Amino acid sequence: MYCPHCFKTIPPEQETCPKCGQSLDPPNVPSISYSKIRALTDQRNAKPPFLPYLIGVSIFGILIFFWFKRQNQPEPVPVSKTKNLSEEIVSVGVVLPNPSSPEMTKDEMTEILNQHKEKKFSHYNDGIRYLQQSLYTEAVNQFEKSLAFDPFFSEAKTKLAFSYSALKNYRKALDLYLELHRDNPQAKGLSHNIAACYNNLGIQKINQGDRVGAIGDLKNSIKYDPANFHGYFALGYIYFLLEEYLTALPYLKEAHSLDNTHVEVHNLLGLIYYKQGNLERAINHWQKSANLDPQREDISWRLQKAQKEFSVEKKFVGKTSSQRFVINYEGGESIDISAQILRTLENAHRDIGILLTYHPQEPVQVILYTDKQFTEITNSYDWVGGLYDGKIRLPVKGKIEDKKLEQILYHEYSHVLVYLLSKGHCPVWLNEGLALNLEKGLKQHHLRLMKEAFLNNRYLPLSKMPDNFINIEDEAKVALLYSQSYFLVKYIIERSNFLVLKNLLIHLGNNLSFAEALKKTLYLTIPDFENAFLNQLIKQIS
């Protein structure tokens, strides 16, 4: 049997439990099984289930929340207590519809539609009359009113686009033409008008100096009209200005195929072939251009120059080249020196390119002449040791001392970069001064010449500096001009750096005057610049 208090097993006939001391009343209680006792114990100690309790609490909380929310809601305001809205709306010219009025009849609807149609055509016809009088702003106003009555009125939309185009608002005109093209891609003349708008937008950007921005518009122009001569020509012109001659050439060739009587297409093709060293093709195009417009003195001058060069260079059979330079020469002794020149030019390309952070896009043409050939081609005096006029031209005879050759080539390569950065608009003193500062070799003789110039009152102000040095026969005067140019540019470099000088050249290439470019880069007027330069120079001389 078991103790009913502590469940200890006890022998029969016991009256008290030996473990807990409790009375076993009545004695000899029949025993119950352990499993039953354990089940009773578990039932007594069992905890209530948690999930039903949680669900019940949640439901109760939700009910309380909605009860409070309903209690806090404001009471709806009856319609009779609000302001008289009809009075407010009528005061600004709008009348509320009468809810009790009957539905509109078919005849009434037809009458309203006819009124809209009448007004649509009335404004459209007024716009046509304004167009005929070239009153484009008034025409735009009427066509827009017409479209307000019928946004799908394609005729009004077409005339509105034309009016915007006449006002040179090509962006709005283009948007309208593109919308019409989406609705009817096969409509006659739409592609041409879209191309014309893109073309005119590109031309506007070119005139504003945004050449790169114009490229996308011009490419869209030839996309919508593959026979658009003006688009191909403008693209060729832009890439020519960007010195990307290989990219410009296909566009100009396509323009030439569309119109082979255009003077400027022949002129640009001649310039590209000339820069690539193909004199024969350059002469061919310039000859055609000169025949089409005999009054173009610039083309006649280029043609004569190329013909003179070709008469000498057609005998040249030697050629040494790299990715950056192409050297042409007659042959014989020039073979050895051409390799030496190429190595030196490659060094100049590296050293000067680092200082100015600029490198030419296309290979630089270099021509080696005998002294006689050089004088004949350039019409220069004996003191000229080299020349750059779109090509580096060098008189060579026998072996040249390495230092002397390095000085000449660094000088001439500097002219290449100055010409490309300034688009040929650099004053000669700035051009020569920068080349002198970038060339190799000693420069102490410049200070001696400037001292002599001040003592003899031979210093020239900037306003009296000549436009060209090469045509001056007096070597002493030329030497002084070079020295003065050297110190002027040296002062700019010392006052700022080579990158500021590069920006000055770029401004000149964007058709700014030297005074404007100086103001933008050094923040000086020409008199202030010259006075500051003279004060610095006097300190150096004394």
H-only helix segments in 167-278: 170-183, 190-207, 211-224, 229-241, 245-258, 263-275
| Whole-number pLDDT of residue 173 | 93
Query: Which of 419, 454, 488 is where one domain is finished?
Result: 419
Task: Tell me the torsion sign for CA atoms 429, 432, 435, 436.
Answer: negative
Residue 25 has a pLDDT of 57
Beta bridge partners of 395: 369
In a shared domain, residues 392 and 439: no
Assigned domain for 99 exists = no
Count of domains forming the chain: 5
pLDDT for residue 76: 41
pLDDT of residue 446: 83
**221 within domain boundaries:** yes
Q: Is residue 55 part of a domain?
A: no
Same domain, 405 and 441: no
Say yes or no: 291 and 319 in one domain. no
Same domain, 239 and 293: no
Assigned domain for 135 exists: yes
Residue 76 lies inside a defined structural domain of this protein? no
Domain range for residue 215? 115-267
> Are both 147 and 219 inside the same structural domain?
yes
Q: Which residues of the chain have pLDDT under 50?
A: 27-32, 34, 37, 72-101
Task: Detail the DSSP E strand segments found in 305-380.
Answer: 318-321, 325-329, 364-369
Residue in the structure block whose two tokens are 């006097």: 538
Which pLDDT score is estimated for 225?
92
Confidence (pTM): 0.66
Q: Does one domain contain both 125 and 167? A: yes
Residue 464 is which amino acid? K
Q: Which helix (H) or strand (E) holds 276?
A: none
**Does one domain contain both 444 and 535?**
yes
Single out the residue of 210, 368, 339 nearest to residue 277, CA to CA.
368
Residue 56, in any domain of the structure: no
Same domain, 190 and 230: yes
142 part of a folded domain? yes
Residue 178 located in a structural domain: yes
